[in-house]
Amino acid sequence: MPVAIVGITQYYKYKMAQLRGRPHEDPKQLEKEREERKQLEARVQNLESIVCSVDLELNARMNRMLAAQSGIGLLPPHRADDKQQALSPTVATPHPHGSMLAMALQPGQKIAGRYIIQRELGRGGMGAVYLAADEKLNERVALKIINAGMADAGAADRFRREVSAARKVTHQNVIRIHDIIDDGPMVLLSMEYVAGTTLADYLGRVGALRIDEARNILGQICDGVAAAHAAGVVHRDLKPGNILIDGEKRAKVIDFGLAKATFMAGMTATGLIIGTPEYMAPEQVRGLAQDARTDVYSLGALSYHLFVGRPPFAGETPIAIGFAHVTETPRSPRALRPELPESVEAAIMRALEKDAGKRFADAAEFKAALLK
């Protein structure tokens, strides 16, 4: 399918080149050719977006395959009492068949000569996360398994560079990464442990948040993301599942830079497509360059979800959702929630501009508009 689309794309580009090379002296004919060129350019952009969306889905499947190939042991689906559940920096994603492969660590097992495994906290596409006691620091930490080992020395170097950059982000609304751990075939991250729930789970229980509550949580998220932007770090995968909420409604952003780091640890790709479709900026869907404004778009999509009760776009497949981000305008938030202040709607819609140049420059600027 992608090959066919690429072929059509090349054809349209060829036709546009022809039109540019044959300016016509007749004003009416010239205007007709300009209009045809605009239509062809729009079709090319749409086709390229489709190709990138297909790449997104293929990349996600490849990552799941890599996780399965590196897995040791078959673990059953995790179940926990909601009243006693304490989540760490992870996004639990169920396997299509009801179970998933992951690195199997057991309570009491010692990792790297200092971490004693206490229990499993959750699982994501790259492996599992465990609560562990750090005997050296005498505190509890979250251990996140990245995979069963880096594919090659180059991948390991890239991974370490990304994690090193993420470690520079120090803020009360950001989960702190402590260290990279090598233990035999395993590569793990030790991180700050926070007892609480993910924003995704919280939204699943309560739906759209009260306006004052949403503003409070979003303000904290923006503060954490702004600290990362000030350090030159782009998150690339902001979503409810990557936000932790503790018992006092304090928000902490997790996995800064890890979307890119873990992807690159598993494979090499051009036009890297990283993110979660419901919250991805158009340039992410198209595999283009990304910066702080990419996170601003994701913050806009996240804000839309918190205030309205659902993301700005939905679809049956990642391709459909990604294509909507590139080509469609989201429905007005106030049309779905009339009591929403106009200033909030204006901030969200500006953050969701297709053209990155029309968005807020960074998370701090977005917060100022959202809370005014």
Residue positions annotated with a catalytic role:
237
Nearest to 49 by CA among 343, 57, 108: 57
> Are 49 and 285 within 8 A, CB to CB?
yes
Instruction: Give ∠ CA 141-257-129 in degrees, rounded to 5.
Output: 30
116: Cβ contacts below 8 Å, ≥ 6 apart: 108, 109, 110, 132, 133, 135
In 3D, which of 200, 248, 191 has the Cα closest to residue 220? 248
Q: Count of CB atoms within 10 A of residue 17's CB?
A: 11
Please list the residues that pair with 142 across neighbouring strands: 131, 191
- Note whether 280 and 325 are within 8 A (CB): yes
Gap between the Cα atoms of 91 and 297, Å rounded: 21
Helix extents (H) in the chain:
2-21, 27-70, 153-166, 199-206, 211-230, 258-266, 282-285, 292-308, 318-327, 333-336, 342-351, 363-371
End-to-end CA separation in angstroms for the chain: 47
Query: How distant, in Å, are the alpha carbons of 22, 40, 173 from that of 34?
Result: 11, 10, 50
Cα distances from 232 to residues 26, 169, 170, 218, 252, in angstroms, run 52, 9, 12, 21, 19
Place of tokens 């489709």: 50
Q: Which amino acid is at 288?
A: L
Question: Could you give the CA distance from residue 330 to residue 337 in angstroms, rounded to a whole number?
Answer: 14
Give the span between the Cα atoms of 263 and 275, in whole angstroms: 10
Rounded Cα–Cα distance for residues 36 and 42 (Å): 10
